[in-house]
Structure 1
Amino acid sequence: MDKIEYPILTEKTIRLLEKNQYSFDVNIESSKTEIKKWIELFFNVKIANINSHKLPRKKKRIGAIKGYTVYYKRIIIKLKSGYSIPLFSSK
C-alpha cells in the first residue's frame, strides 16, 4: 500500500460516498491498473471504473525559501454494487 497515500474527505467526496465512489491521493508515478490491483487486493472489492487527475502544484514560501507543495495524483474509484470500503474503523 505504498502507492496509496490517504483517503480524501471533503464535502464533495462525502457526497460521492452516497454513489459508492471513493477518493484517494496516490503516488504520481502510479498507473490506473496498479491502483486498481492494489485496492481490489487490499480491500477485497471489485472496481467498476477509475477516474484520475493531477492536482495543480501550489507555491509555498517559508521565509526566504521558495518551493512547492507535495505533488499527488487524485483518483476517484466507483465500486460495483454490493461492495463498500470501510474508511473508519469501528474500534
Structure 2
Amino acid sequence: MRLAEVLVKPILTEKANAQQDKLRRYAFKVARKANKLEIKKAIEEFYGVTVTDVNTSVVPGKNKTRYTKAGFVKGQKPAYKKALVTVAEGETIDLYGTL
C-alpha cells in the first residue's frame, strides 16, 4: 500500500485535542487495510516526527434513522479504522497549519 493512501484525515474532536496536549497522542482516520508499521512510516514521512507507539481500532458503523415526509429513512454510517499515534517527547504535529 502506498503511503499516500494510508492516512485519510486527522480526527479533530475535544477528546483527541485533550490527548494531544497531555499525552502527545494524535488520532487519525486511516485505510482499513493499513497496518501499524505502514501507519508509523506514513506519519514519520509526512509530518517529520518520531513515532513511539501506534494503537489501532476499527470503529463500527452506526445505524441512523430520521423521520421525513416519506416516512422513516433508515441507513448506516460506514465503519472506519482509527489510529492513535504517540510521538516522541518534545515533538508535536501541526494539524491546523499554523506556524
Between the aligned partners of 1:50 and 1:16, the Cα distance in structure 2 is: 14
- Corresponding residue for residue 72 of structure 1: 80
**Aligned residues of 2:27 and 2:84 also touching (Cα < 8 A):** yes
- Using the TM superposition, give the Cα deviation of residue 22 of structure 1 relative to its aligned residue in structure 2, in angstroms: 0.3
Q: Which amino acid aligns with 1:9?
A: L
Q: Give 5+ residue unaligned stretches, structure 1.
A: none
Between the aligned partners of 1:67 and 1:27, the Cα distance in structure 2 is: 22
Tell me the matched-pair count: 91
1:18-71: CA deviation from partner (whole Å, max 9, x where unpaired): 121100010111101001011111111111101111001112468787553222
TM-score, normalised via structure 1 length: 0.85
Between the aligned partners of 1:33 and 1:70, the Cα distance in structure 2 is: 24
**Partner-residue secondary structure (3-state), 1:49:** strand
Question: Of the candidates 56, 64, 68, which is equivalent to residue 52 of structure 1?
Answer: 56
TM-score, normalised via structure 2 length: 0.79
1:7 aligns with 2:10: yes
Larger Cα-atom Rg: 2
Question: Of the candidates 88, 93, 96, which is equivalent to residue 88 of structure 1?
Answer: 96
Between the aligned partners of 1:46 and 1:82, the Cα distance in structure 2 is: 10
Q: Which runs of 4+ in 1 moved over 6 A?
A: 62-65
Identity %: 32
Q: Give 5+ residue unaligned stretches, structure 2.
A: none
**Aligned residues of 1:54 and 1:72 also touching (Cα < 8 A):** yes
